[in-house]
Amino acid sequence: MPRTIPSLLLVDDDHSFCEVMERALERRGFAVSCAHSAEEALPMLQTHRPEYAVFDLKLPGASGLVLVEMLHRIKPEARVVVLSGYASVATAVDAVRLGAVHFLSKPANADEVVAAFSYSPSPENKPLMSQASSDQQEAEYLKRVLHEQHGNISQTARVLKMHRRTLQRKLSRCQS
């Protein structure tokens, strides 16, 4: 039985980044389609219904979060990763709440994106998004990023683009 190639929609307004990431993801076994704005991507979501998606947060016109929400409505099982050079915890929480499986800060490479697709928090660590407060969602995200950085507070703070002391304060509130 022939193996089907998983479809992936890549949306980023940086044409060079799209070309490089498209080639890298194709080498990793994806059939990649590219768009450079939310407006260009919306019809592609409707017709292609990709299994995987990588959306830049900041796009000309509508935000990448609009795409996350739309794809989640069309195909809830799709695995979406949001990329941003302007990462914040609040935005990451919004992306996950809308249906993204992960939020990565730019620059991110294809290996990080592929690894993010397979991220699945254990059920005991993942409250239902509709029932969790934004504080709980933020705490979960902070802990997840800290775990991905092997407990290194300084590296986690750099990834989250926040001051180390701010991160420590937020984490101490999560513990109490």
Residue 174 maps to which CATH number? Answer: 1.10.10
pLDDT for 128 equals 38
Tell me which residue range forms the domain holding 170: 123-176
pLDDT for 127 equals 38
Cβ neighbours of residue 5 closer than 8 Å, sequence gap 6 or more: 29, 30, 31
Q: What are phi and psi of 87, to 5 degrees?
A: -70, 140
Q: In this structure, are 110 and 142 located in the same domain?
A: no
The dihedral of CA 106, 107, 111, 112: what is its sign?
negative
Structure tokens at 40: 């260009």
Alpha-carbon gap, residue 35 to 55, rounded angstroms: 10
CATH of the domain at 17: 3.40.50.2300
pLDDT for 129 equals 39
Q: In this structure, are 102 and 136 located in the same domain?
A: no
161-170 pLDDT, tens digit per residue, is 788 888 888 8
Q: In this structure, are 115 and 59 located in the same domain?
A: yes
Alpha-carbon gap, residue 10 to 52, rounded angstroms: 9
Q: In this structure, are 46 and 100 located in the same domain?
A: yes
Q: From first to last of the 176 residues of the chain, give the pLDDT tens digit.
A: 556 899 999 999 999 999 999 999 999 999 999 999 999 999 999 898 999 999 999 888 888 999 999 999 999 999 999 998 776 777 888 888 888 998 888 888 999 999 989 876 544 434 333 334 556 667 777 787 888 888 898 988 888 778 888 888 888 877 65
Q: In this structure, are 113 and 150 located in the same domain?
A: no
Say if CB 37 and CB 60 are below 8 A apart. Answer: yes
* Average pLDDT taken over every residue of the chain: 83
Structure tokens at 120: 């699945």
Q: In this structure, are 18 and 75 located in the same domain?
A: yes
Total domain count, the chain: 2
